[in-house]
Amino acid sequence: MGQWEIFLSPYKQAVDELKVKLKGMRSQFGIVNANSPIEFVTGRVKPLASIYDKSLEKGLSFEPSKQLGDELGDIAGLRIMCQFVDDISTVTELIRQRKDMRVVEERDYITHNKPSGYRSYHMIVEYPVETIQGKKVVLAEIQIRTLAMNFWASIEHSLNYKYKGMFPEEIKNRLQSAAEAAFRLDEEMSSIRSEIQEAQAYFSEYKEASNPNLLSEKERDSK
Sequence-ordered alpha helix ranges (H) in the chain: 3-31, 48-58, 66-71, 85-97, 147-163, 169-191, 193-210, 217-222
Query: 160: burial class by Cβ within 10 Å (0-12, 13-18, 19+)?
Result: middle
The answer to whether 170 and 178 have CB atoms below 8 angstroms apart is: no
- Sequence-ordered list of residues with C-beta below 8 angstroms from that of 35, at least 6 positions apart, any chain: 29, 197
Greatest distance between any 2 Cα atoms in the chain: 59
Q: Is residue 169 annotated as part of the catalytic site, yes or no?
A: no
Q: 193-210 vs 169-191: helix axis angle to the nearest 10? A: 80
Per annotation, catalytic residue among 126, 141, 169, 170: 141
25: Cβ contacts below 8 Å, ≥ 6 apart: 36, 38, 94
- Amino acid identity at 216: S
Catalogue the active-site residues.
Answer: 141
